[in-house]
Structure 1
């Protein structure tokens, strides 16, 4: 049973990391290359779409990692799982405090109502997101290392 939990958790966190990595290093650079209205509209749409899914994914991943840590408490690698859980907690706190407020504004913008500094706000979101990606990559690496 623990093995199934480990696989499900690792896959869930790994897919989350892949999506967030793709946003940072594939999608946002593509959006940035679009004409101004297209760039802003693509980011707004992405903010609405991923803003609805990612909170469940982050919290669900954290819950799975927590269950793994408790269920495997006396098994090899549990320390790495606990570290991964701590990193995911940091990523959730960071998301709520830094990224979600910017995203909540950005997802409502249109070419008619966006603020003059919308590009600077998106660049700030991107900087926070790069840090968050590094944190969740480290958490994922910890989970993978715990398996071996």
Structure 2
């Protein structure tokens, strides 16, 4: 029974982390470049609206993924536990980066301050976050294999 529970938790962690990486990559690689080609007024409205909406939704996704990873590292007795633990540590870095550096910028953009330097700063930080999330996913997949 424990093996089924462990496998289920690990599968859920991989699924949540995978969809998180996919959505964050889609925002960075597709949504923001498309929005960037809009006229100034449309660009400002789209960036501000998306910052507000995603700023409300994404914290739950991040924290649920981190919680599942923590459960997986606690209940997994195997040697792959170290990969999951490294993923948890990296995910904690992602959450810390997000809360300390990205949320303040996102809040300013959501409030309507959509200046090019601010948007560029957020986009660069976002690509760093996408890369870190990709590494988290690789660690989880390796641990689950």
Which residue pairs with 2:49 in the alignment? 45
Alignment RMSD (CA, Å): 1.0
Match of 1:91 among 86, 89, 94: 94
Which residue pairs with 2:121 in the alignment? 124
Q: How many angstroms apart in 1 are the aligned matches of 2:33 and 2:72?
A: 36
Q: Given the two structures, how large is their TM-score scaled by the length of structure 2?
A: 0.94
Unaligned runs of 5+ in 1: none
Give a deviation string over 1:84-112, Cα, whole Å, max 9, x none.
10110000000011100010111111xxx
Length, aligned pairs only: 141
Question: Between Structure 1 and Structure 2, which shows a larger proportion of helix residues?
Answer: 2
Q: How many angstroms apart in 2 are the aligned matches of 1:102 and 1:141?
A: 28
Match of 1:78 among 44, 58, 81: 81
Which residue pairs with 1:102 in the alignment? 105
Q: Given the two structures, how large is their TM-score scaled by the length of structure 1?
A: 0.92
Give a deviation string over 1:1-25, Cα, whole Å, max 9, x none.
1111111111011111111101110
Match of 1:91, SS state, is helix
Detail structure 1 runs of 4+ shifted over 4 Å in the superposition: none
